């Protein structure tokens, strides 16, 4: 029997989760909910997604948008609800979910860690989420760090990590908040990313700092780590990373010297919404200094990187697959690990 999944909040993340769920052979999308009728509502209908009203259904009727019912009716038809509401609203929704004790809830990383019993990253702590009533998928930046650090920790042992994070100012469609001509540091030390990382990898010693830059195209990390058993050469790091499909090695030699080119690569590979589910790692920037510290630069698609983990979380809370099976099913369905870098090489040749 397929797991029935619904999306509470159909926006930038909600639409991506909905499309990912539709690609899973072991899942069925019940529908998605909206607070207000807007272009996302019309988009859901065009994509064949049943739409449910969170509050006033008359608002949708007035704009000729057909709705399938109320958000409570949607939840009743579901085994799992993915809460994709704006940050902070998920906690407010918890009283609604409490009325449905047999329904599992998956929150997004914009919610506080105490919104659910545990935070979740598929690679880091999948088994801890098995059968849970609710979990919280960690944020986009933390998801990327979890993949990198868990991979390095398993192979070499991570003694300490230090990360400088350059965050995008807003998503491409968000005109309400944007730093136009300034770089704004996060005025707290460490930034919340270190605290968030320790919710899924509590044994890791990590310090993070961050700032907001005037861009909408992805986050960038400058990542440094001291390893307990350092590799003799960076080729050992490439070999380890190459086994993880959720890490993508990109090269400036292929024209991928900025987040703009990386997003373009995703579009050229036919990725829906131009999404990069993988954590990008620049080949030219990985290095080991004279003290044995490993450094690298990472690229993170803030709207896409948590989508695979959200799909894995569905299988974890329903206990419908083990970690390895779930991650492989998710990877295969979303084309993760199948990015054709030849398109980037061809683009460089055409420009030259």
Question: Coil, strand, or helix at residue 123?
Answer: helix
71 vs 25, 53, 78, 296, CA distance in Å? 25, 6, 11, 44
Whether the ω angle into residue 190 lies within 30 degrees of 0, i.e. cis, is yes
Rounded CA separation 182/36 (Å): 33
Helix 12-22 to helix 323-334 angle (10° resolution) is: 100
Q: Report angle CA 209, 215, 217 to the nearest 5 degrees.
A: 95
Active site residue 211: no
Which member of 140, 200, 212, 217 is catalytic? 140
How many CA atoms lie within 13 Å of 39's alpha carbon, on the beta-carbon side?
A: 2
The closest alpha carbon to 296, from 237, 208, 242, 219, belongs to: 237
The neighbour count for residue 46, using CB atoms within 10 Å, is 8
Taken in order 225, 231, 236, 240, the sign of the CA dihedral is: negative
Residue 41 Cα distances to 31, 67, 86, 177, 212, angstroms: 12, 10, 16, 22, 30
Q: Which residues share a beta bridge with 249?
A: 281
Q: Give the length of the chain.
A: 352
**Which residues are within 8 A (CB) of 177 and not within 5 positions of it... i.e. 6 or more apart?**
169, 170
Residues identified as active-site: 140
């Amino acid at each position: 029997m397929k797991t029935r999944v619904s999306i509470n909040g159909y926006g930038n993340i909600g639409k991506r989760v909905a499309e990912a769920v539709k690609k899973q052979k072991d899942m069925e999308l019940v529908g998605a909910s909206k607070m207000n009728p807007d272009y996302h509502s019309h988009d859901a209908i065009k994509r064949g997604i049943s739409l449910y009203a969170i509050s006033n259904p008359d608002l949708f009727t007035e704009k000729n948008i057909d709705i399938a019912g109320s958000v409570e009716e949607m939840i009743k038809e579901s085994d799992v609800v993915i809460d994709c509401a704006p940050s902070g609203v998920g906690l407010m929704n918890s009283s609604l979910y409490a009325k449905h004790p047999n329904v599992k809830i998956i929150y997004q990383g914009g919610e506080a860690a105490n919104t659910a019993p545990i935070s979740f990253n598929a690679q880091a702590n999948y088994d801890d989420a098995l059968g849970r009533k609710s979990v919280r998928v960690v944020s986009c930046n933390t998801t990327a760090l979890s993949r990198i650090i868990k991979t390095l920790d398993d192979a070499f042992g991570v003694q300490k990590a230090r990360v400088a994070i350059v965050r995008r100012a807003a998503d491409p469609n968000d005109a309400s908040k944007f730093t136009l001509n300034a770089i704004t540091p996060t005025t707290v030390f460490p930034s919340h990313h270190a605290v968030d990382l320790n919710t899924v990898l509590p044994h890791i010693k990590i310090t993070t700092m961050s700032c907001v830059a005037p861009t909408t195209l992805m986050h960038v990390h400058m990542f440094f780590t001291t390893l307990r058993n350092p590799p003799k050469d960076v080729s050992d790091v490439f070999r380890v990373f190459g086994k993880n499909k959720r890490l993508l090695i990109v090269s400036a030699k292929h024209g991928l010297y900025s987040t703009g080119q990386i997003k373009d690569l995703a579009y050229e590979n036919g990725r829906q919404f131009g999404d990069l589910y993988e954590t990008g790692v620049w080949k030219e920037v990985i290095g080991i200094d004279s003290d044995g510290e490993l450094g690298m630069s990472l690229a993170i698609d803030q709207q896409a990187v948590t989508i695979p983990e959200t799909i894995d979380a569905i299988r974890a809370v329903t206990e419908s697959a083990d970690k390895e099976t779930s991650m492989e099913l998710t990877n295969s369905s979303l084309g993760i690990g199948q990015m054709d870098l030849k398109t980037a090489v061809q683009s460089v040749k055409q420009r030259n």
